[in-house]
Homo-oligomer: A and B are copies of this chain.
Amino acid sequence: MRITQKQSDANKTRVIAGASKLFREKGFEGVGVADLMRAAGLTHGGFYNHFASKDGLEAEACRQALATSVDRMSAVAEIEDKTARSAAMAAYRRNYVSKKARDAAAANCPMAAFAGEMPRQSEDVATAYATGLREYLDAFVAASAGAETARASAKRARQKALVEYSMLVGALILARSVAKADPELSDEWASQTPPQRNRC
């Protein structure tokens, strides 16, 4: 039963969107082709009408998930007013490692969700990830720059952002790692990790 090309395109879009969330929640290996298609209301057989392989969808989902994060961070970086930008970044950091973000991996930072699996992914997926992460980091640096150290050199500002972002990702991943087995420790990580860490 052939369907409209517009319908077909919408189906593909829905599969990618669902995959983007499922992969973040359960990992690439934790979701099967059948699951991915079911999430879009389809059956597994039609998968290869849209994608060359499961790996192809992984790369595409990765690309789109990171692109969304990049856009969001770029939007912050483009805030002209320094005070407003600084406040936006503070809010961003605060949400980043919250309990809410920890418990809803599907809807949050794909960089943190995928990082641990990347060393074992195909070249396509790894490239999509690396490209997105680099762009994201540039935006993160731009959004952070001048927030509190206007006189710092570009290099130092970037280094500082690297450290800051490492901390956020590490805290989120560690909080998730013990969420079930040691909720108390997990909460400590999710809540005590300082939202605005620049109290020097």
Contact A126 B181 (CB under 8 A): yes
Instruction: A200 to B112: give the CA distance in the assembly, Å.
Output: 27
Counting CB contacts under 8 A, is A85 at the interface? no
Q: Are A171 and B173 also in contact (CB < 8 A) when A116-B116, A134-B182, A163-B197 are? A: no
Interface residues on A, range: 35 or more
Contact A177 B30 (CB under 8 A): no
A137: chain B residues within 8 A (beta carbon): 185
Contact A115 B118 (CB under 8 A): no
Interface membership of chain A positions 41-81, coded 1 if the CB is closer than 8 angstroms to chain B and 0 otherwise:
00000000000000000000000000000000000000000
Q: Which residues from 151 to 196 on chain A have a C-beta closer than 8 Å to any C-beta of chain B?
A: 159, 162-163, 165-171, 173-174, 176-182, 185, 188-189, 192-194
For the residues of A in contact with B, the DSSP-based class is helix
* Nearest B-chain residue to A184, judged by Cβ: B134
Q: Are A162 and B177 also in contact (CB < 8 A) when A105-B119, A115-B116, A116-B115 are? A: no
A115: chain B residues within 8 A (beta carbon): 116, 173-174, 176-177
* Nearest B-chain residue to A137, judged by Cβ: B185
Counting CB contacts under 8 A, is A117 at the interface? yes
List of 6 A-B pairs having minimum Cβ-Cβ separation, nearest first:
A116-B116, A170-B170, A130-B181, A166-B170, A130-B182, A166-B171
A/B interface sample: 25 pairs, CB < 8 A = A29-B29, A115-B116, A115-B176, A117-B117, A118-B177, A118-B181, A119-B176, A119-B177, A123-B180, A123-B181, A129-B177, A129-B178, A130-B178, A133-B182, A162-B193, A163-B171, A163-B197, A165-B170, A166-B166, A166-B167, A167-B167, A169-B170, A169-B174, A170-B170, A170-B171
